[in-house]
A and B are shown apart, each in its own frame.
Chain A
Amino acid sequence: MSDSNIIPKWLSVGVIPLFNLFLAFCVSGLFIFLIGENPFKAISVMIKGSFYYPGAIGYTLYYTTNFIFTGLAVALAFHARLFNIGGEGQAYLGGLGVGLMCLIFDQYIAGFLVTILAILGSVIFGAVWGIIPGYLQAKRGSHIVITTIMFNFIAAALMVYLLVNVIIEPGQMSPETRDFATGVGLVQIHMLAKYLGLNVAMSPLNLSFGIALIVSIGFWFLVWRTKFGYEVRSLGHSETSAVYSGIKVSSTIIIVMAISGGLAGLVAVNELLGVHNKLLLGFTAGYGFTGIAVALMGRNHPFGIFLASLLFGALYQGGTELDFEFSSITREMVLLIQGLIILFSGALAYMLNPLVEKIYLKYYGNFNNA
Chain B
Amino acid sequence: MRSSENKTGNETTVSLPVSTKLAIELKDITKRFGHVIANNDVNLKVESGTIHGIVGENGAGKSTLMNILFGLYKPDSGTIFLNEQSVEVNSPEKSIALGIGMVHQHFMLVPTFTVLENVMLGNEGSMFLKSGEESILNRLKGLSKNYGLDVDLEAIISDTPVGMQQRVEILKALNRGAKILILDEPTGVLTPQETIGLFDILRSLREQGVTIVLITHKLKEIMSITDTVSVMRGGKVVADFATKKTSSEELAENMVGRKVLLSIKKPASKVGKSILEVKDVSHDSKDGVNVLKDISFSLKEGEILGIAGVAGNGQSELLDILSGIEALQKGQITINDKPIFSHQEWNSKKARDFGIAHVPEDRHKRGLVLPFHNYENSILGYHRNDQYSSGFLMDKGKILNFTNELIQNFDVRPRSPSIISGKLSGGNQQKLVLAREIESKPKILLVGQPTRGVDIGAIERIYEDLMELKSKGTAILLVSVELDEIMSLSDRILVMNQGTIVGETSSSNATELDLGKMMSGLEQVREDRNE
Contacts and interface: CB of A to CB of B under 8 A. Distances in A.
Q: Do A and B come from one complex?
A: yes
Interface of A: 2, 5-6, 221, 225-228, 230-231, 233-234, 237-238, 240-246, 248, 357, 361, 365, 368-369
A65 B384 CA distance: 35
A234 B371 CA distance: 9
A86 B179 CA distance: 60
Given A233-B369, A246-B324, 5 more contacts: A230-B394, A231-B383, A234-B380, A246-B349, A368-B35
25 contacts: A5-B420, A6-B35, A221-B393, A225-B394, A226-B392, A227-B383, A227-B389, A227-B393, A231-B383, A234-B369, A234-B380, A237-B370, A237-B371, A238-B365, A238-B369, A241-B367, A243-B325, A243-B348, A244-B348, A244-B381, A245-B383, A361-B34, A365-B32, A365-B35, A368-B35
Contacts of B367: 241, 244
A243 B323 CA distance: 11
B366 A241 contact: yes
B358 A361 contact: no
A357 B33 CA distance: 12
Contacts of A246: 324, 347-352, 381, 384
Nearest to A238: B369
B37 interface: yes
A337 to B, nearest CB: 35
Interface string B223-249: 000000000000000000000000000
Given A244-B348, A244-B358, A368-B35, A234 B372 contact: yes
B35 A244 contact: no
Q: Which residue, of B348, B350, B367, B420, has the highest number of chain A Cβ atoms within 10 A?
A: B348
Contact of A241 (B35, B37, B365): B365
A244 B325 contact: yes
Contacts of B360: 244
B372 A237 contact: yes
Contacts of B348: 243-246
Most chain-A Cβ atoms within 10 A of its Cβ — which of B358, B381, B422? Answer: B381
Interface string B345-381: 0011111100000101010011111111000100011
Contacts of A227: 383-384, 389, 392-394
A361 B394 contact: no
Contacts of B381: 244-246
Nearest to B376: A230
B423 to A, nearest CB: 7
Contact of B392 (A5, A228, A234, A361): A228
A357 B34 contact: yes
Interface of B: 32, 34-35, 37, 323-325, 347-352, 358, 360, 362, 365-372, 376, 380-381, 383-384, 389, 392-394, 396, 420, 422-423
A237 B421 CA distance: 13
Given A240-B366, A357-B34, A5 B423 contact: yes
Nearest to B366: A244
A306 B525 CA distance: 68
A228 B384 CA distance: 9
A243 B35 CA distance: 33
B365 A240 contact: yes
A361 B366 CA distance: 32
Contacts of A230: 376, 383, 394
Contacts of A6: 34-35
A365 B370 CA distance: 24
Nearest to B326: A243
A361 to B, nearest CB: 7
Contacts of A357: 34
Given A227-B392, A230-B376, A234-B380, A241 B423 contact: no
A225 B365 contact: no
Pairs A-B, 9 closest by C-beta atoms: A246-B349, A246-B348, A245-B381, A244-B366, A240-B365, A237-B369, A245-B380, A241-B369, A6-B34
A5 B34 CA distance: 10
Contacts of A237: 369-372
B390 to A, nearest CB: 11
Contacts of B369: 233-234, 237-238, 241-242
B349 A369 contact: no
Most chain B beta-carbon neighbours within 10 Å: one of A237, A244, A365: A244
Contacts of B347: 246, 248
Contacts of A368: 35
A22 to B, nearest CB: 26
A246 B360 CA distance: 13
A255 B352 CA distance: 24
Contacts of B370: 237-238
A226 B393 contact: yes
Contacts of B371: 2, 237
B363 to A, nearest CB: 9
Nearest to B358: A244
Given A246-B349, A361-B35, A241 B368 contact: yes
A245 to B, nearest CB: 4
A225 B34 contact: no
Contacts of A365: 32, 35
Nearest to A228: B392
A341 B211 CA distance: 59
A326 to B, nearest CB: 46
Contacts of A2: 371
A226 B390 CA distance: 10
Contacts of B34: 6, 357, 361
Contacts of A221: 393
A226 B325 contact: no
A369 B35 contact: yes
A139 to B, nearest CB: 16
A85 to B, nearest CB: 24
B33 to A, nearest CB: 10
B415 to A, nearest CB: 16
Q: Which of A242, A243, A248 has the most CB of B within 10 A?
A: A243
Contacts of A240: 362, 365-366
Contacts of B324: 246
Contacts of A361: 34-35
A242 to B, nearest CB: 8
Contacts of A231: 383
Nearest to A222: B392
Contacts of B392: 226-228
A231 B362 CA distance: 20
Nearest to A241: B369
Contacts of B349: 246
A272 B427 CA distance: 57
B105 to A, nearest CB: 22
A144 B368 CA distance: 26
A232 to B, nearest CB: 12
A19 B34 CA distance: 23
Contact of A226 (B35, B352, B394): B394
B396 A225 contact: yes
A164 to B, nearest CB: 44
Nearest to B353: A246
A6 B389 CA distance: 33
Contacts of B420: 5
